[in-house]
Amino acid sequence: MEWRAEGIVIAVRKHGESAAIVETLTEEHGRHGGLVHGGAGRRHTATLQPGNQVAMTWRGRLAENLGTYTTMELVRSRAATVLADREALATLDAARALLLTLLPERAAMPDVYRGTLALLDALDDADARRLGYARWELMLLSELGLALDLSRCAVTGAREGLAWVSPRSGRAVTAEVGAEYADRLLALPPFLTATGIAPDRAALAQALALTGYFLETWAIQNSLDKPLPPARERLVALLRKDG
């Protein structure tokens, strides 16, 4: 069996003396691993960097086999962007760690692929990156089956003045409706429901507290025997420290 596709490198780990097992995210094949012969050598170093966009050929005797990436050609490198910006690097690491932790292997999730590609394209712009990452986590939740409804108040139907999210339903409520129950609700940062607002680090950290609650809820509901990945916690800590 063989397929060709363009995708994103999300993880590389050495295998044996010189090979590497590479995890990629593609539109048609989802999160997919394969062996790259010589992948731990210098010839592949520039190509096999997390976040890079590559054109690849995968081949395996059976679809369920690990298989081999027989070609892996660089389409777009993002190493220069993330290595020059600590927050951009932390964002990339958090996104790929969530993909590795939460996505089932070999399940096509085209919206996740396209959303991840858009996020990577925004890494070099702080405003676009922060807004993009918050929306990326919301998209990921939706694709995993836990969509939040932040468009209107669950009680009144109002679209203005939304300030809280119910941890039970994942639906927004206005500041007035939620005032009596504020200690039991999750804060909803204004930038998630408005247009033209770019979050600063503190606002993004608040948004990630919201999405993080539901990511943990999803993990518990699906008996995932793992906490949220440390890379995501490091991003949150960085945002809170410098916010």
Residues paired with residue 58 on neighbouring β-strands, in sequence order: 3, 69
Predicted pLDDT of residue 223:
85
What are the domain boundaries of the chain? 2-77, 81-150+188-242
> Global pTM?
0.94
Query: How confident is the prediction along the chain (243 residues), in pLDDT tens digits per residue?
Result: 899 999 999 999 999 889 999 999 999 999 999 999 999 998 999 999 999 999 999 998 877 779 999 999 999 999 888 989 999 999 999 999 999 999 999 999 999 999 999 999 999 999 999 999 999 999 999 999 999 999 999 999 999 999 999 999 999 999 999 999 999 999 999 999 988 888 999 999 999 999 999 999 999 898 887 789 999 999 999 999 865
Q: Which residue has the tokens 């300030």?
A: 163
Beta strands 30-36 and 19-26 are antiparallel
150-155: which pairs have CB atoms within 8 A and are 24 or more residues apart?
150/188, 150/192, 150/193, 151/193, 153/177
Yes or no: say if 122 and 132 are a contact pair by the CB < 8 Å rule: yes
Is 2-77 a CATH 3.10.450.50 domain? Answer: no
